[in-house]
Structure 1
């Protein structure tokens, strides 16, 4: 068992390191952008440590630089509202003690959640979440520090293609889950809703709207139960009855059978 855990942990460390390398670069870009926008160095570092919201930090810096701090707070809350279903999905993976749940909710990101849900519920999922969450948190903050120190020397991660590393990594983690037919239907329906809503809704709202796809299995279950019903109220035939009818056409006596009864454990010749 320990050997299996160690092998799985090594494989996950390799995957986390690949995403963590991209996170360092994107975090460095955030640090450089925040300082260039006029945010103090201490505030930039504190935002990555205490807020730790990735894309929401870029959006907040832009809105604060535009003179809309209230809009930055509201937009960040809306964008990160997806963590509510994340917490429900992870359940006991965060731990049972209060401080574990508080710290785990702070380390909860799309990537850490995907790493955890890729493992079956239990100790393996808990280990995956904490390992991925801690390493990615350190990678983001190390990148922010590098960006603050390097200033404008850090390039735009979109120009380098690093912005595609996160969705690509998430897709790779979620592919095994899509083997289940119901999960695949929900994922496709949610993706379709998000794509259709992206041009007309603010950032973050399409992701929340995609959660409406969770009703797909319920609708399919209702349709299946309706199909099982017999039309026109026709009664479904019950178990076959043996023996002649009773007097006046009454139901036969259950004790009367056409043939002998063989009970479990008895042999018949």
Structure 2
């Protein structure tokens, strides 16, 4: 199973390079590739002699792809799908909305599983040392991965709008706000899943059920902070701070930018 996953990941890495097709000319090779962290199409010209018409692998891009996979496997997968969508000259809007809905459903299914089978039972039975490895893997593979993907994707999109850069998708501003709201809800659910997976002793008032974790996640992201549940371990404290930053960035940056740009867009259309 692990070997299959490794082969699948390696295949995606190679396809991300191969999909940036090259155009051969008499004395040069032009390699087109996407910068995944900026989303803009760039060109890299490699002046090669006709006898050396070979493509030199860009190890810097490989390092970026590896870092991208480590920080957010879900973003890595979504970016690969978007690249295929663009190579087929298809619109990104429907794919983005589809992924947003699917990821929310997955977050709800994980939340339901953790509600029915709370991990606190494993810690009570003395299996915490063995279970914590699996818990951190689950946290990395989805809830934290999605949080990183959401904050990065919306922040990058908002900066592009403020800089007046052309949009890579055909989404309207109203649709972007809808996606932001769904992502905000998903953040609350995903961080609740993270908190319930952490050892109970990471909190002053131990989280014993998913409803406790969901409550703590909600009051944390909205900065209410009643204090009845508080993180005491460095990991839970850093995650709480990160959740607040994600919430602020999504609401203040994305909502304000999308609303402002949307009003400006409609106003300019009415004047014309």
- TM-score under structure 1 length normalisation: 0.27
- TM-score under structure 2 length normalisation: 0.27
Flag the structure with higher helix content: 1
